[in-house]
């Protein structure tokens, strides 16, 4: 029997995973020691380094695993994101240090797709405006807009974007998409694939579903907003940094576009000094798109299985 010191130690920071839950039981049944340090809001790098000390593998949320942090935790061999995005992890540094990094592609696609439709409806029917008006003692009765007949532009064609398509069609929307996905992998005949500039000019709603990369960072800048319809609404359930937030605030404030429904922002929680605050037409939510009971359960168990496989040298979803 191995000494306790030889048992791989796993750190779990995803905030909805708890000691004693089915993920914890799964990892312990696989012979691993588990330690929980839920991430809520931002975490200081020193605190993260301390939490990772002596840890072999980590099941993480949006932890800022920078090159500096990774270099100071030499025992770490495996990192698994309980989600799709991995922009908070320095993949190059991890590769140099021999740390395997995995994500869970498509794990919460249905949850994100349903939430996207929720944001479309919230904007079109002015639901937040109505509810807050009633709460304040009023009875707002302004006209909304119907989704039927409107054009939805999808930026990106990953699992979540593909899951949006049939939902949008059920509401009678026309769907266009701008993506770098090769033509051979664009299998949906119901979607019209167009250049980015054409999507901006023709869409009534523009929904972001692209990963955050050097190419897509601040993709939505002042020039992008200038190409959009004045009646257009931006939806973002992907990554906050895809949008230049000052440019967005300026565009909405001056009537360049009608508004924005944002589930993600560059700095989370939203900072007190954010240019998005106080702009009529911009609604910011608390990064909830993938947070359903079903998606959380699936992500937790899939993440645990990937972690065990990666520790054995057989990761299935390693990020290249």
Please give the positions annotated as active site. Answer: 239, 268, 287
CA–CA distance, 133 with 140 (Å, rounded to integer): 6
Give me 92's structure tokens.
């190059």
Contact 26, 1 (CB under 8 A): no
Q: Is 109 helix (H, G, I), strand (E, B) or coil?
A: helix
Provide the Cα torsion 107, 113, 118, 124; round to 10°: 150
Contact 299, 107 (CB under 8 A): yes
Q: What is the DSSP letter of 211?
A: P
Contact 279, 260 (CB under 8 A): no
CA–CA distance, 27 with 287 (Å, rounded to integer): 27
Question: How many other CB atoms are found less than 10 A from the CB of residue 16?
Answer: 15
Give me 213's structure tokens.
């990369």
Contacts of residue 89, Cβ cutoff 8 Å, sequence gap at least 6? 63, 65, 79, 81, 101, 319
| Core vs surface per residue 74-90: b (16+ CB within 10 A) or e | eebbbbbbbbbebbebb
Contact 112, 163 (CB under 8 A): yes
> Can you list the pairs that 38-47 forms with residues at least 24 positions away whose Cβ atoms lie under 8 Å?
38/12, 38/13, 38/14, 39/13, 39/14, 39/15, 39/63, 40/15, 41/268, 41/269, 42/268, 42/269, 45/69
């Amino acid at each position: 029997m191995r000494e306790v010191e030889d048992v791989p130690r796993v750190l779990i920071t995803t905030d909805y995973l708890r000691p004693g839950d089915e993920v914890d039981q799964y990892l312990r049944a696989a012979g691993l020691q588990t330690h929980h340090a839920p991430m809520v809001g931002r975490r200081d790098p020193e605190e993260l380094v301390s939490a990772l000390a002596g840890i072999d593998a980590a099941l993480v949320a949006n932890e800022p695993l920078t090159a500096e942090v990774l270099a100071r935790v030499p025992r770490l061999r495996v990192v698994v994101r309980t989600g799709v995005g991995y922009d908070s992890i320095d993949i190059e540094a991890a590769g140099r240090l021999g740390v395997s990094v995995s994500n869970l592609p498509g794990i919460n696609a249905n949850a994100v797709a349903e939430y996207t439709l929720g944001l479309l409806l919230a904007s079109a029917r002015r639901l937040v405006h109505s509810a807050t008006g009633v709460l304040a003692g009023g009875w707002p009765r302004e006209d909304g807009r119907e989704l039927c007949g409107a054009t939805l532009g999808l930026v990106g064609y990953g699992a979540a974007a593909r899951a949006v398509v049939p939902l949008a069609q059920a509401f009678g929307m026309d769907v266009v998409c701008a993506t770098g996905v090769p033509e051979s992998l664009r299998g949906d005949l119901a979607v019209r694939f167009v250049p980015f500039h054409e999507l901006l000019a023709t869409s009534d709603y523009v929904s972001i579903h692209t990963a955050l990369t050097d190419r897509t960072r601040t993709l939505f800048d002042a020039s992008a907003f200038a190409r959009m319809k004045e009646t257009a609404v931006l939806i973002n359930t992907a990554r906050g940094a895809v949008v230049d937030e000052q440019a967005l605030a300026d565009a909405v404030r001056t009537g360049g576009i009608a508004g924005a429904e944002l589930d993600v922002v560059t700095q989370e929680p939203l900072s007190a000094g954010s240019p998005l605050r106080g702009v009529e037409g911009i609604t910011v939510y608390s990064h909830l798109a993938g947070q359903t009971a079903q998606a959380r359960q699936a992500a937790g168990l899939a993440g645990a299985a990937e972690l065990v496989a990666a520790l054995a040298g057989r990761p299935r979803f390693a990020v290249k």
